[in-house]
A = this chain, B = another copy of it.
Amino acid sequence: MNFTYSDKVKQYEQKLLRFMDDYVYPNERLYKEQLDPHNRFAKTPPIMEELKQKAKDQGLWNLFLPDSEYGAGLTNLEYAPLCEIMGRSSIGPEVFNCAAPDTGNMEVLVRYGTEEQKQQWLHPLLNGEIRSCFSMTEPDVASSDATNIRTSIVREGDEYVINGTKWWSSGAGDSRCKIAIVMGKSDTKANKYEQQSMILVPLDTEGVTIKRMLPVFGYDHAPHGHAEIEYKNVRVPASNIIWDEGKGFAIAQGRLGPGRIHHCMRIIGAAERALEELCKRVENRQAFGKKLAEQGVIQEWIAESRIEIEQARLLTLKAAYMMDTVGNKEAKAEIAMIKVVAPNMALKVIDRAIQALGGAGVSDDFTLAASYANIRTLRLADGPDEVHRRAIAKYELQKYR
Contacts and interface: CB of A to CB of B under 8 A. Distances in A.
Given A2-B4, A389-B299, A359 B377 contact: yes
A303 B379 CA distance: 15
Given A217-B373, A311-B312, A287 B142 contact: yes
Given A144-B358, A285-B141, A340 B218 contact: no
Interface string A91-121: 0000000000000000000000000000000
Contact of A216 (B2, B214, B337, B362): B362
Contacts of A354: 376
A396 interface: yes
A361 B399 CA distance: 21
Interface of A: 1-4, 38, 137, 139, 141-145, 148, 167-168, 214-220, 226, 275-276, 279-280, 282-283, 285-288, 292-293, 295-300, 302-304, 306-307, 310-312, 314-315, 318, 333-334, 337, 340-341, 354-355, 358-364, 369-370, 372-373, 376-377, 379-381, 384-386, 388-394, 396-397, 399-401
A386 B358 CA distance: 11
18 contacts: A1-B4, A38-B38, A144-B358, A145-B286, A214-B364, A217-B373, A218-B219, A218-B369, A279-B397, A296-B390, A297-B297, A298-B393, A299-B389, A310-B334, A310-B337, A311-B341, A359-B381, A362-B376
Contact of A218 (B218, B312, B377, B379): B218
Contact of A306 (B214, B218, B392): B392
B396 A306 contact: yes
A296 B295 contact: yes
Given A145-B286, A217-B219, 9 more contacts: A2-B2, A38-B38, A142-B358, A279-B396, A296-B297, A306-B333, A314-B318, A355-B379, A358-B384
A393 B304 CA distance: 9
